[in-house]
Amino acid sequence: MRIGALEAGGTKMVCAVGDENGKLEKKVSFPTKTPEETMPVLLDFFEEHKVEAIGIGCFGPIDLNKSSATYGYITSTPKLAWANYNIVGAFEKKLGVPIGFDTDVNGAVLGEVCFGAAKGCDSAVYITIGTGVGVGVYVNGGLLHGLLHPEAGHVLVARAAGDPYAGKCPYHPNCLEGLAAGPAIMERWGRPAAELAEREEVWELESDYIAQAVTNYILTLSPQKVILGGGVMHQEQLFPLIRAKVAEMLNGYVRHNAVLREIDRYIVPPRLGDEPGIKGALVLGKNAV
């Protein structure tokens, strides 16, 4: 089956053509401008490649309720040009093929479950820490939706002692995204994460906030695998710090070998590198058929 895959991000739109086994035939990216500028380029790409279905992993918030009048819409996004835009409808009208639709991070966790670090698991979380923080959740063999969809990047964390930073999030003074995403690192320390690799105090603080959130995800969702991706997690020194702090915060309460003895294989980077989202979108397209 020839499937189109779209990883729709606020900065760029990654488009690919592949099959249901995750094999990519072609992958390109286009800058995210306004819908009027961007959508014709995307539609032409998929029309040219004669895809039989499309999977879309999209920035949000989005409406995933199929009984809703605004199913398939990007809703209250801060990317104002895209607010209340019917992205699924645009593809349906132009191409007339089945379309799978979910959040970009749910697409990423699906990619890792089907082809990557969480293969064989029936529950996993994927946390991407970069310009923002997004969390994709796969539980009991399916992607988690609900009232809306997980917005667990905004889980509240306890402010570290001595951290005077006010937080970057306009909604919450002490959520994970506001205290630990890339823009917060830049604003707090005056330099981007990539230029702070040798500053131990930066990563001690960063790992504390991430570990608090991961601990909460473990206690609430009981995932069989925790995957940490995104630009900030390219600082690989974070992984041992986060693992140690998660074990300390759990304090022996979760008595499972994954936490007690094998935490280095439990909290891991994505196996698919930069492609979990686009490969997850292939699966969304297959599932739509």
Q: Note whether 211 and 242 are within 8 A (CB).
A: yes
Q: State mean pLDDT over 122-138.
A: 96
3-103+274-288 and 117-268 agree in CATH topology: yes
Tell me the pLDDT band of 78, cut-offs 50, 70 and 90.
confident
Cβ neighbours for 45, distance < 8 A, ≥ 6 positions apart: 15, 28
Cβ neighbours for 262, distance < 8 A, ≥ 6 positions apart: none
Gap between the Cα atoms of 265 and 108, Å rounded: 19
Q: In the block, which residue shows the tokens 């086994």?
A: 21
At 211, the amino acid letter reads A
Q: State mean pLDDT over 268-283.
A: 97
Q: Is 117 in a helix, a strand, or coil?
A: coil
Q: In the structure encoding, which two tokens stand for residue 177, read together?
A: 């995204």
The reported pLDDT for the residue numbered 88 is: 98
Residue 99's beta-bridge partner residues?
Answer: 54
Tell me the pLDDT band of 79, cut-offs 50, 70 and 90.
confident
- Among candidates 100, 153, 158, which has minimal Cα distance to 125? 153
- Among candidates 247, 228, 235, which has minimal Cα distance to 205? 235
Q: Is the pLDDT of residue 278 over 90?
A: yes
Strand 142-143 vs strand 73-74: parallel, antiparallel, or unpaired? unpaired
Q: Is 12 in a helix, a strand, or coil?
A: strand
Q: State mean pLDDT over 131-156.
A: 94
Each as own residue / partner, the long-range contacts of residues 84-87 (CB below 8 Å, 24 or more positions apart, any chain) are: 85/35, 87/8, 87/35, 87/39, 87/56, 87/58
- Among candidates 12, 78, 22, which has minimal Cα distance to 55? 22
Each residue's pLDDT tens digit, 86-123: 999 999 999 999 999 999 999 999 999 999 999 999 99
Q: State mean pLDDT over 142-149.
A: 92
Q: In the structure encoding, which two tokens stand for residue 217, read together?
A: 């995800």
Homologous superfamily (CATH) of 3-103+274-288 is ATPase, nucleotide binding domain (3.30.420.40)
Q: In the structure encoding, which two tokens stand for residue 89, read together?
A: 């409808």
Q: Is the pLDDT of residue 77 over 90?
A: no
Q: State mean pLDDT over 149-172.
A: 95
Each residue's pLDDT tens digit, 210-261: 999 999 999 999 999 999 999 999 999 999 999 999 999 999 999 999 999 9
Homologous superfamily (CATH) of 117-268 is ATPase, nucleotide binding domain (3.30.420.40)
Q: Where in the chain are the domains?
A: 3-103+274-288, 117-268
Gap between the Cα atoms of 9 and 27, Å rounded: 15
Whether the predicted model's global pTM rises above the 0.85 cut: yes
Each residue's pLDDT tens digit, 7-62: 999 889 999 999 999 999 999 999 999 999 999 999 999 999 999 999 999 998 99
How wide is the angle at C-alpha 151 spanned by C-alphas 150 and 152, nearest 5°?
90
* φ, ψ at 33 (rounded to 5°): -110, -140
